[in-house]
A and B are shown apart, each in its own frame.
Chain A
């Protein structure tokens, strides 16, 4: 069968392959090349070696600041989102009246786009802060917590769904056995439920991790980096470098390459974590 199928490669693979090459492969390779050049449009690049990369760190502290802000934000949201999502999942797997309705409501914010979410929360947060006669631009920590709240509102429902699926997959005889042995609810949680949902924890951790790390739309709409550029995360900083001014394209592209390397490192960690887990299961 393989042989006959091979003759149909044009039908089965060509459309995807061409689109992939145009939309991803060429731009990706060109992006790496351009990060070593100075350019304003893709046709007038001049090779400058590593000077763009040097400039990223020498010209201003924007990128480093954005990195630390992003890192802090990522850690806090990963912890909080997963904590809330797991608690909600525990509550919603007890057969309480209206479970389905609650699940529907908690999940809904996830479907709303980042730009729209950003403006919704800008209104709410500024409204609350106006009681104290300030607004979200007053301090970077307001912007930080604003983003954390937004992220929780958006992602908790999503992660909750995954946790619910995992909890429901725990064989009921395991729980019954624990109950017969006289285990307290806390012991059940610690010794039965948590180990059984560990795979889901890994998945959710990495999903929140990459989502938070790569956050753009929400950051763009909610704070836009204000005050100053103090709440600009990496993706926003790259965008600003690229499109905010003329003459910084090369530097923007090399920031993008660095950003890519960081994201790839996270993905590698994830791959290893998942592999290790699979080994354990075997």
Chain B
């Protein structure tokens, strides 16, 4: 192939990629477009641009926010996600370090149980778990953080353990001789070394918890609505299904994700790749 041909081929590829990218973005743009149209003009002709007749400005947004209490849902989602991820990263890192270093039988059994939990589908425990959560008074935004710790522990401990094993024990032994107790050692020596893994785990868990629907719906859904529950609630009825409000809510729920993605893109892509290789 000559240089010229190569260049031409590249140009074709580039155009092709631009086309593909457009296909990937288009669905979101269609939703955005429809969020400005009257609710009865959406189902029938979703690809038509808003016209003077069908354009309703921000009415749909006002309706969607009012009907679902969107800001509150956003608050719950944020609170639950941030707290759960924080708790998961901290406690599973500690657990992973402990069970990797202490090679006792109970530690090993616990580790295998955790790994086992990764393959159990949620449907297996959804009923019993939500009942138990209610009996123990965990059916509130603080309690669900605890549930997420228990349910997310499997993957996170598994990933952390893999990296702990790669840390040479000599470093810790040296620190010990310097008079560190295990708690100091964990926070001053071990955790800093685990930081890249912690970022990966934080990102994987954020993606899971922020978007999770069934678990929060079953545990706290009737009283506290997270964003996915709010979207589904709007669809499920509330008098009449308002397609306009639904479109607006879809847009509102995508915006935070895009902001998060564009801010931490590098970490996310790296984290996903790292998480997958291990998982």
- Direct A–B contact in complex, judged by CB atoms less than 8 Å apart: yes
Q: Which residues of A contact B (CB under 8 A)?
A: 1-2, 4-6, 8-9, 11-13, 15-28, 30-31, 34, 41-42, 88, 91-92, 94, 96-98, 101-116, 119-121, 123-124, 126-127, 130, 153, 157-158, 161-162, 164-165, 203-204, 207, 214, 216-217, 220-221, 235, 238-239, 242, 249, 252-253, 256-257, 259-260, 263-264, 267
Q: Assuming A96-B13, A102-B21, is B45 touching A27 (CB within 8 A)? A: no
On whether the beta carbons of B95 and A27 are closer than 8 Å, the reply is no
| Cα separation A150 to B103 with both chains bound (whole Å) | 45
Residue picked from A9, A115, A203, A256, most chain B C-beta under 10 Å: A115
For the complex formed, measure the closest distance between the CB of B31 and the CB atoms of chain A, giving whole angstroms.
5
For the complex formed, measure the closest distance between the CB of B267 and the CB atoms of chain A, giving whole angstroms.
13
Q: Which residues of B contact A (CB under 8 A)?
A: 10, 13-14, 16-17, 20-21, 24-25, 27-28, 30-31, 34, 42-47, 91-92, 94-95, 97-99, 101-104, 107, 110, 113-114, 117-129, 131-133, 136, 138, 146-151, 153-154, 157, 169, 172-173, 176, 181-183, 186, 207, 210-214, 227-228, 231-232, 235, 246-247, 250, 253-254, 257-258, 260-262, 265, 268-269, 272-273, 276-277, 279
Residue picked from B13, B120, B279, most chain A C-beta under 10 Å: B120
On whether the beta carbons of B235 and A119 are closer than 8 Å, the reply is yes
The contact of A105 among B21, B125, B129, B276, by CB within 8 Å, is B21
| Cα separation A18 to B104 with both chains bound (whole Å) | 19
| Cα separation A16 to B110 with both chains bound (whole Å) | 10
For the complex formed, measure the closest distance between the CB of B190 and the CB atoms of chain A, giving whole angstroms.
11
On whether the beta carbons of A115 and B231 are closer than 8 Å, the reply is yes
For the complex formed, measure the closest distance between the CB of A47 and the CB atoms of chain B, giving whole angstroms.
16
The contact of A42 among B122, B131, B254, B272, by CB within 8 Å, is B131
On whether the beta carbons of A203 and B276 are closer than 8 Å, the reply is yes
